[in-house]
Structure 1
């Protein structure tokens, strides 16, 4: 969007900057992570002292490293977001952040049954927008509509 445009994106559109995040994935990561932690802690403290003593240092470290790996994967999934700013659209998927100028964006799609939305870029490539999860239903479709309207508005301002 041009620098001279106002912060309000227009009727029915969010004020910029605006961030969209997936709901279901974040709830699932938090819930499953907490359950896994509780189950592992209960199992560990449920063992007799003699059983716990048989675990070697390497085995204990392996369990901790696996837990850290699960936590890193959960963190990567939960941090997905799309932020619309005046000049750019910032897409965060996992540990990668992409800043896209509005002129680079052609369209956004969330087909029925797709796991997440896809952004079409002017150079013919696509990137995923994992902030719009198909499992979030109406929430994701509404977000995609808002981003689509912002892309269309940016295209009209260029013309």
Structure 2
């Protein structure tokens, strides 16, 4: 039998920290390199330079969108911020928090029969951190939903 996961203090934000740092750093480097090339190439006209800089800015913007993913839990529910969409869920809407072996991120099984991906908890670079975050979100869901939709280990 394992000890129950302690509940984190609310509000709490779960996000892939290392992945975020890598994405934002790569975005800045790409923008600086492309902009630097645009400014250093003398044969480029103003329109070409603008196009280079715009391309670097778009690359940074896309990587920043990838880096914005998070899951925020507070007293009234959970806000899931993914790449293109933000969704607010009440605690009662979340039936189960899943992070199975091989999953790229956490999935939330919802009361309407659908599943919501939560990219803010992903085991890519920091697997143990993602597992701990998933357990914490699962414990919060169980504590706030008033039901236990997740299987529990038998008490001895």
Match of 2:153 in 1: none
Match of 2:93 in 1: 104
Match of 1:33 in 2: 27
Work out whether residues 31 and 53 of structure 2, in 8 Å CA contact, stay in contact via their aligned partners in 1. Answer: no
Match of 1:146 in 2: 136
Count of aligned pairs: 144
Alpha-carbon distance in structure 2 between the residues aligned to 1:112 and 1:86: 29
SS at match of 1:82: strand
Cα deviation for residue 87 of structure 1 reads 0.9
Match of 1:4 in 2: none
Q: Where does the alignment leave 5 or more consecutive residues of structure 1 unmatched?
A: 1-9
CA-atom RMSD in angstroms: 2.2
The structure with the largest helix share of the pair is 1
Q: Where does the alignment leave 5 or more consecutive residues of structure 2 unmatched?
A: 149-156
Q: Note if 1:68 corresponds to 2:57.
A: yes
Work out whether residues 103 and 155 of structure 1, in 8 Å CA contact, stay in contact via their aligned partners in 2. Answer: yes
Work out whether residues 25 and 77 of structure 1, in 8 Å CA contact, stay in contact via their aligned partners in 2. Answer: no
